[in-house]
Structure 1
Amino acid sequence: MANVTGANVTDDRAQQADHRDHHVPETDEEVRRDLAAIDEVIARGRFKPDWASLQQHRTPQWFEDAKFGIFIHWGVYSVPSFGSEWYSRNMYIQGSKEFEHHVKTYGPQKEFGYKDFIPMFKAEKFDPNAWADLFEEAGVRYVVPVAEHHDGFQMYKSRLSHWNAAEMGPHRDVLGELSKAFNERGLVNGASSHRVEHWFFMGHGKEFDSDIHEPLKRGDFYWPSMPEPDHMDQHSKPVPTREYLEDWLLRCCEIVDNYHPKVLYFDWWILHEAVQLYLKKFAAYYYNRADEWGEEVTICYKQDSFMFGTATPDVERGQLAETKPYHWQTDTAIALNSWGYTENNQYRPAAEILQDFVDIVSKNGNLLLNVGPKPDGTIGDEDRAVLTAIGLWLKTNGEAIYGAKPWKRFGEGPTQIIEGQFSDSVKKNFTSRDVRYTINGSNLYAIAMRPAADGVYRFERLKEGDAEHNADFHGLIDHVDVLGVVDHVEWTRDETALEVHVPVSAITGDEPVVFRVVVA
């Protein structure tokens, strides 16, 4: 699917008006041609659009070894910097805090709608190389920018709609520039699409006198703005139309063809029954394209949007209570209240994120950690501080993380993990008795979630004993190191625990402490 070359435009608002009233990016004939091209790729590939065929797909080894990725929510919603990245929806809900804030700050929605933020989204300080340098320093292995959020503004050059960052706002192919910068540093490039939720995301704007009104047609920014379902589940109505879902499929395939992402992330509403046919077709297309290009890719999904074993399951803002035999991912954000930048973001400290990271890795998972850049294209001091701290910790302790495998027991300790999504705001209060285990090569790693006040660390899973005494570890220990602190630390082992003594002054901060148990 070829790229479009946008005209040089000096007046974004004039261009918006022209596109809203007159422009349809593709004719019906062009749509049929592009859909036929998708069918041709599927026909000649080994993956077909059914779950049995898609179960041939295997999670890439690079993904399992990577452990740490960055998610990026950055778009037009960063301009108002209020509430959350759902501003485009909420500003049209009468009585909401976003509605009231919008009227007070910008005026009535019929005079200043969401589209009018686009000329304000200039990204004048956006430097993809600076972002890539920061992520590399943070120890990140893959990066997943949001290519299109629910608001429908594409952060990449597209020929399916002119409402994109290459032709409006920044006038830059953001996804393309980032992908190039990541690849130059050996970071794996990904992308996410939240487009399917756009079906209803702007629908409240039709409930009063706003700038969202009929007629709307394919390619318009606000199209289709349908009524929001009471229950956003797989059976909700109104059902997305064939025209809309074909457009969704074309947009997803355009991202694949033009940017070759190795990870493709979808938000939740792809689980809708009307989407499933197109979802399977997309997965077959993506996996076949990867075969053609000699690349290993994966799709990350939430809930049960995909048949188990056909893609990588993801837990949004949550964790799992036990180790899983399959690989999985958590996506969460440095800010608790929003994925995008707002002026009142509530940031989590690096030590807490590292504790969750260690827990996730011990249970066979990856962490996809989100940052929300400011509208000018800079990453805020709070985000940078967290990423810098994580990078420093990984430089010392990365051998217990990158390429590590779960041990036969993920850990021990008094703190219980609440399983499931949207639990990252629950403060866990880990102690030094909370321990997580990983293995890498010939070494076993015991990771205390926080430093012990008295310098004494006990690992009950590593106690002396044999099978008759229900010991978990029967191996011989040669020595124990504390990564980045001291080699050959003092230790004892009996039928109750492996006990390690570390000078209190040797460990500072609240980050997890990693012990390398070297087996004889």
Structure 2
Amino acid sequence: MREPKCWLCLVVTGLVPVVVSVKSTLATPRRYTADWVSLDTRPLPSWFDEAKFGVFVHWGVFSVPAWGSEWFWWHWKGQPQAGYEQFMRRYYPPGFSYADFGPQFTARFFRPEQWADLFEASGAKYVVLTTKHHEGFTNWPSPTSWNWNSKDVGPHRDLVGELGAALRERNIRYGLYHSLMEWFHPLYIIDKKNSLKTQHFVNTKTMPELYHLVNSYRPDLIWSDGDWECPDTYWNSTSFLAWLYNDSPIKDEVVVNDRWGQGCSCNHGGYFNCQDKYKPEKLPDHKWEMCTSIDRKSWGYRCDMLLSDILPAFEIIKELVKTVSLGGNYLLNIGPTRDGLIDPIFQERLLTIGKWLNVSGEAIYSTRPWRVQMEKDKRTVWYTSKGTTVYAIFMHWPEHGILKIKSPKTTESTKIMMLGMHGNLKWSKDSKDSLLITLPSLPPSGLPVKFAWTVKMTNVK
């Protein structure tokens, strides 16, 4: 007997089935149009808000001079600064060009599995790699970047593809940073001279690259940048995003940021970056991300980096906690060397975060902002939540081992414990209805973490 054409069949007489037509209840997938009114209504895929913590990687030809910042070429030749010119005169021969740095970007010690192991140990749930910075060099064999890509020059490897494969073996989401602009590309310079009435650069370079990245590597996230000189109409941003959301192979899972043209940051796109190292002081009404760098002075690796330039682990975890309490994600940057090594100080900071998250991650991953995000008395306490469970994270140990907080309202079934330790903590109320939590009486070495301790409160309001 042939398989029935529907699930509902009525036997009317004998063995003769009568097939009853049933109208499909499947909703037609929504189509987004190429305008911000439509695109901004797309729901953000849930994985991004659940992830909370990611690692940013700035790596490119700028890692060869490794001095000043990743804007080395611009500060040397675009808007020259004396320090960069002096650096080149001191260490490189006359006539040396920026393109001559390309073959020296060797990545000879780049082991993607080792990088992925480190990122996994850091507790990062997603990693964002620079595919192309404003210098135009691509870390994959871009067909529109002949002889200025990592397959033709330097490593002779597909760096984007290799790292992606290693990350996905560990179930880490993969994001791709891509600069829309290139400082010195001849077609971009022509378009600007034409007052952006032409789009030679966009049509032959930027957009073909973005489509190629999506179809070749299927990223979970596209971290756009380099947009600020031109409106989104020049970049054709809305047309690309409409295709990305409607028809691309990653349409259901991909996440994008807000850097798609002048005036877009903090207004249009997926989640909001707003600006580098953005730190809102109150709960925003839109999903956001703070991107910052372990090296305060640069996103790329610097040979002139000093220990005093490095964010302390305490400060990093404090920023992470504040960011998550205010509904954001925390994207922390490192800059590898031209050889593909990650400096030990960067490794140490990432591993310290991972150790803290091993204990306190329950208060970070997949949490939501609570009705109160922060309270401050003698010390600052940050809150996150999951349903009726509330987490209070405090950076400094209170005097006499008594944590006093005002916001949680207890019930008859309230229980309180400290993450990383067994057993419930004793608690009481004072005359002003503040909650007094008696913390474990242990020496510092006996506590689960060195700072940023978390108490977990169930059945509180």
TM-score (norm 1): 0.75
Asked if 1:501 corresponds to 2:441, the answer is no
Matched with 2:428 is 492
Q: CA deviation at 1:70?
A: 1.1
Match of 2:164 among 179, 184, 190: 179
User: Any gaps of 5 or more consecutive residues in structure 2?
Assistant: 1-28
Matched with 1:479 is 415
Task: Provide the secondary structure at the position in 2 that maps to 1:480.
Answer: strand
Query: How many Å separate the matches in 1 of 2:227 and 2:424?
Result: 52
Matched with 2:457 is 517
State the AA in 2 paired with 1:101: F
Asked if 1:62 corresponds to 2:47, the answer is yes
Query: How many Å separate the matches in 2 of 1:266 and 1:304?
Result: 14
Q: CA deviation at 1:159?
A: 0.9
State the AA in 2 paired with 1:70: V
| Kept after mapping to 2: 8 A contact 1:270/1:279 | no
Matched with 1:121 is 105
Match of 1:165 among 133, 150, 157: 150
- Structure 1 residues 319 and 95 mapped into 2: Cα distance closer, same or farther (>3 Å)? closer
Task: Provide the secondary structure at the position in 2 that maps to 1:257.
Answer: helix
- Structure 1 residues 274 and 186 mapped into 2: Cα distance closer, same or farther (>3 Å)? closer
1:349-372 per-residue CA deviation (whole Å, 9 max, x = no partner) reads: 111111111111111110111111
| Kept after mapping to 2: 8 A contact 1:122/1:376 | yes
Q: CA deviation at 1:238?
A: 5.0
Asked if 1:248 corresponds to 2:182, the answer is no
- Structure 1 residues 95 and 341 mapped into 2: Cα distance closer, same or farther (>3 Å)? closer
| Kept after mapping to 2: 8 A contact 1:339/1:372 | yes
Identity %: 31
Q: What is the 5 A alignment of 1:389-428?
A: 389-413=352-376
- Structure 1 residues 88 and 45 mapped into 2: Cα distance closer, same or farther (>3 Å)? farther
Q: What is the 5 A alignment of 1:182-331?
A: 182-196=167-181, 198=182, 201-202=183-184, 222-224=185-187, 226=189, 239=196, 241-246=198-203, 247-267=205-225, 269-270=227-228, 272-273=230-231, 275=233, 278-290=236-248, 292-293=249-250, 295-302=252-259, 304-305=263-264, 308=267, 310-315=269-274, 316-331=276-291
Query: How many Å separate the matches in 2 of 1:191 and 1:180?
Result: 13
- Structure 1 residues 380 and 227 mapped into 2: Cα distance closer, same or farther (>3 Å)? farther
Q: CA deviation at 1:102?
A: 1.1
| Kept after mapping to 1: 8 A contact 2:375/2:382 | yes
- Structure 1 residues 227 and 322 mapped into 2: Cα distance closer, same or farther (>3 Å)? farther
| Kept after mapping to 1: 8 A contact 2:272/2:286 | no
Q: CA deviation at 1:435?
A: 0.7
Matched with 1:143 is 127
Asked if 1:356 corresponds to 2:341, the answer is no
State the AA in 1 paired with 2:458: V
Larger mean CA deviation between 265-274 and 275-284 belongs to: 265-274
Matched with 1:18 is none
1:101-124 per-residue CA deviation (whole Å, 9 max, x = no partner) reads: 01211133xx11110001111111
- Structure 1 residues 453 and 321 mapped into 2: Cα distance closer, same or farther (>3 Å)? same
Task: Provide the secondary structure at the position in 2 that maps to 1:500.
Answer: strand
Larger mean CA deviation between 485-494 and 326-335 belongs to: 485-494
User: Any gaps of 5 or more consecutive residues in structure 1?
Assistant: 1-43, 203-221, 230-235, 415-431, 463-472
Structure index of larger Rg: 2
Larger mean CA deviation between 83-92 and 315-324 belongs to: 315-324
State the AA in 2 paired with 1:478: T
Asked if 1:132 corresponds to 2:123, the answer is no
1:172-201 per-residue CA deviation (whole Å, 9 max, x = no partner) reads: 1001111111111100111011131x1xx2
State the AA in 2 paired with 1:500: I
Match of 1:452 among 384, 395, 398: 398
* CA RMSD of superposed structures (Å): 2.5
Query: How many Å separate the matches in 2 of 1:405 and 1:240?
Result: 45
